[in-house]
Structure 1
Amino acid sequence: MVNTRWQEVSEADILAANIQKYADDKIIDFYANIDELQFPYVEYTVVFNAVLDLLGRGRRIKAVDMCGGAGRASFILKKCDPNCDLTLVDCADKMLAVAQQKAEQMNIRNIRIVNQDAFSFFQEEEQFDLIIFSSAIHHFKDPVQL
């Protein structure tokens, strides 16, 4: 039964719904076949370059793309700074498989791919210079808790 009142929905409910959504082959096919050049997300390049400038070009930036799915934001960041240490985290194994395949097709290297949910991942002691939450904030009831 689907809860209709926001107060009744838990983070676990939202996580379960997203896991189910991103297990659907039609959704996976959409992300696997999207034309990256037709929809280039130029604003990501502009923002990432500005952030990288603020963090200090020339030093190795450690970044994580949370709930990064098929890797679009990760790939743009790697184009802006090919030397950054990048971790792509998502709990949808099929989306991560798409990300791995696209990274190979685009010859993008050195992305650590982690199959884990955001809450569990942030329980670890690892620190990052840059945390990307691109198109994922709506997947959480209270993202401030992260």
Structure 2
Amino acid sequence: MKPSRLSLLLAGLLLAGGAHAAAADHVRASHAWIRVLPGALPAGAYVTLENDGDQPVALSGADSTVYADVMLHRSSTAGGMSRMSMVDSLEVPAHGKAVLAPAGYHLMLMQPKAPVKAGDTVRLTLKFTDGSTLATDFVARPANALDDTGH
């Protein structure tokens, strides 16, 4: 085989392997929902992530075609003051789970490209620090919702 053909074959195999490795097959998402606020105010996205793998993974953020920017945040309370800060990642332990919920870790969804209303489904592509991704459908709930059922 000529070197150029071998190089092309190897490149093709590497690309095929990389495409397979990009899917977060070891992580499952459930209870995915968004708290929609009025107008163009930022929305919060919440989800339970379960890692069936033997190694921990870390959520580093998400992408959306509906929102211009998605950031991973953590809400906390100290000395009676509520704070929200951006974080780089959230670990999902091996054979464990991580919960993004109100008053804790969440995805902050900024600048909707079109109005999102209660009942809509918004797909977010969750991104992990190992390079894998997980496309997840989030159900939009009203501003007064406390969980994924809308209550």
| TM-score grouping bracket, smaller chain normalisation | under 0.3
- Please report the TM-score for the alignment, with normalisation by the length of structure 2: 0.27
More helix by share: 1
- Please report the TM-score for the alignment, with normalisation by the length of structure 1: 0.28
Q: Greater CA radius of gyration, 1 or 2?
A: 2
More strand by share: 2
